[in-house]
């Protein structure tokens, strides 16, 4: 710890899953962590467990997030908050599109815009963007809007490295595959069914695996920028080729 300059982190989507694990891991590293999420009760429990500082806020609340950030010198921003939906572009709704764009992409852009000037002024900082393999690969059954927003986070991460050229502000994108979190249960509305369908017969990643990936990037020597990390379960691959048969001509 003594050789790294970071003192304060802000983690979004912090009340459960990957976000909560990241909060705990950064606290273990001796970093003051401001944990942001909407669930006040879960945040309170996380604060009791880890010593983080809870903030019951939605990342979509631009004014609220701006007021918070004005009170902090954020050394590490972890853009982790995210949402998903079932379905694709043919059966989504305008509200679903707005919700996914607001949380998964617009909030990431707004928060990054809020913290980067201070990082540049202090000449230290680290932006950690938690994206998804859905931002890099197309696969049947994925939500089209989710894929598009995560692709936007990937592009942002790459462009930020150019924007921050010449400074000691680092940018890391961590792109997980399947992680055992509540998100699958929320998608289908049944936590037990999600566990049976997605996890019981698979050796998925755990939130702590992503938290350790974040810590690896954050605690690396300042001369080293881990710019991109794709993290998959050992037994999961992203390759595959499907080919639909010719349909019978109804004419």
Instruction: Give CA–CA dist 71/2, Å, rounded.
Output: 25
Instruction: Give CA–CA dist 34/8, Å, rounded.
Output: 8
Query: In the sheet that 53-56 helps form, which strands lie side by side, from edge to edge?
Result: 53-56, 32-37, 8-12, 76-79, 125-130, 169-176, 228-231
Burial 86-104 (b: 16+ CB within 10 A, else e): ebeeeebeeebbebbbbbb
Which one, of 218, 17, 59, 215, lies nearest residue 127 by Cα?
A: 218
Catalytic residue, candidates 6, 137, 146, 202: 146
Active site residue 146: yes
Supply the residues annotated as catalytic: 146
């Amino acid at each position: 710890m003594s050789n790294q300059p970071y003192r304060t982190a802000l983690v979004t989507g912090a009340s459960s899953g990957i976000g909560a694990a990241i909060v705990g891991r950064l606290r273990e590293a001796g970093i003051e962590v401001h944990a942001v999420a909407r669930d006040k009760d879960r945040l309170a429990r996380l604060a009791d467990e880890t010593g983080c500082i809870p903030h019951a806020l939605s990342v979509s609340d631009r004014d609220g997030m701006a007021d918070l950030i004005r009170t902090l010198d954020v050394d590490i921003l972890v853009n982790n908050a995210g949402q998903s939906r079932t379905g694709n572009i043919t059966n989504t709704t305008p509200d679903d599109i707005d919700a996914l764009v607001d949380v998964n992409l617009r909030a990431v852009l707004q928060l990054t815009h809020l913290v980067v000037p201070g990082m540049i002024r202090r000449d230290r900082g680290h932006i950690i963007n938690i994206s998804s393999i859905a931002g890099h690969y197309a696969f049947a059954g994925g939500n089209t809007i989710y894929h598009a927003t995560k692709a936007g986070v990937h592009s942002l991460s790459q462009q930020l490295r150019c924007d921050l050229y010449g400074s000691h502000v680092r940018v890391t994108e961590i792109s997980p595959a399947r992680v055992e979190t509540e998100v699958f249960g929320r998608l289908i509305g049944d936590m037990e069914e999600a566990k049976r369908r997605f996890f019981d017969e698979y050796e998925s990643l755990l939130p702590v695996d992503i938290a350790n990936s974040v810590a690896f990037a954050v605690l690396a020597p300042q001369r080293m920028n881990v710019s991109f990390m794709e993290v998959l379960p050992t037994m999961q691959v992203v390759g595959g080729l499907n080919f639909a048969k010719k349909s019978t001509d109804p004419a």
